[in-house]
Structure 1
């Protein structure tokens, strides 16, 4: 990686090579930058894909309702704001389940970081949560090396996480996340599923609270 020692064993060249095989399969549809304004209904097809999706990180109270699912790319401008909203929502609602789906589309950096995130999730949701919020508090672009640094700060071995991140299972996970995004009609992230509706584009904290309240039985 540019600016990193060639002796580190985790060069940007290695991470790009690992990510390249998943790039075309995991990229979100790019036919248009426009997204429909307002919510759209969650279709039966999309609900089935979401329910069966591997690699979801479910924070908070899994299995409870209401539930919010967010599709994320670590390098979109609104991701950090949404992550901070998530932390506040979880702190204030012990019944909330908040699911995170890695849906990278910006560039190879995002794909690298998504693969590291999936590898961290494989070690446990608590470690993923620490990793996720650590990244949200740091400025600048997020690539594989930056993500590995957050994994290390969460208490994980960066070399083990790197080796896990290049496994083929994560290519499949990202490909299925891309298929979910297509079924949801999502082009850019963040995007959210709350109740039976899909919301494209950043929702502020007040709006999320209102939608979650409305989704309660």
Structure 2
């Protein structure tokens, strides 16, 4: 594409590593949702909400595009939203697998900021790809979805995107989860992939 991704600054790397160390020192599962985590979750910027409009999300998923089960979870989300018109599903970028994950998360956040109505299509199109996901692959999906990938690239490298990613790390630490996907469903925190049947059961319980 001829559009190199800007390397992460020392400040960005240190911020991400410090947050991940804090998460790694915590248990992998936290239940129930703590008041501190709820406060961070409610205030989290860059949170993509799909499904029912003007509805508080019943499900929030913490995402790393290179986590082993992310694609599976993305298609689960599609099934859940298709089957429940009243469901709102939020996505928070919490990349931790590597630099490629951070690059792709930057692109996703830029798409959300610039074209929120297009985010869901971009997200599922990215899930339909194969192999490792990094910035260039995410920008290729942006272009395939008819968005201006040059503008998205420039937006992806702005300081506000770095701030959102830093807050995502802080949220993961407060939730005391290391592995993604991870979910907040109602007041329950689920670390690691939950299959579609389990998510449906948790959503039904939280909706009561």
Residue in structure 2 matched with residue 85 of structure 1 by the alignment: 76
Structure 2: gaps (5+ residues): none
TM-score by length of 2: 0.92
Residue in structure 2 matched with residue 112 of structure 1 by the alignment: 103
Instruction: After TM superposition, list the pairs within 5 Å mapping 1:147-166 onto structure 2.
Output: 147-166=138-157
Describe the SS at the equivalent of 1:71: strand
Change (3 A) 1:35 1:204: farther
Question: Over aligned residue pairs, what C-alpha RMSD do you find?
Answer: 1.9
Runs (4 or more) in structure 1 with deviation over 4 Å come to: 18-21
CA distance in 2, matches of 1:122, 1:194: 25
TM-score by length of 1: 0.89
Residue in structure 1 matched with residue 64 of structure 2 by the alignment: 73
Residue in structure 2 matched with residue 95 of structure 1 by the alignment: 86
Structure 1: gaps (5+ residues): none
CA distance in 2, matches of 1:155, 1:126: 13
CA distance in 2, matches of 1:79, 1:66: 19
Deviation, structure 1 residue 125: 2.6
Conservation of the 8 A alpha-carbon contact between 1:148 and 1:162: yes
Question: How many residues are treated as equivalent by the alignment?
Answer: 206
Residue in structure 1 matched with residue 186 of structure 2 by the alignment: 195
Residue in structure 1 matched with residue 117 of structure 2 by the alignment: 126
Instruction: After TM superposition, list the pairs within 5 Å mapping 1:1-217 onto structure 2.
Output: 8=2, 10-11=3-4, 15-18=5-8, 21-27=11-17, 28-30=19-21, 32=24, 35-36=27-28, 40-64=31-55, 67-217=58-208
CA distance in 2, matches of 1:163, 1:170: 11
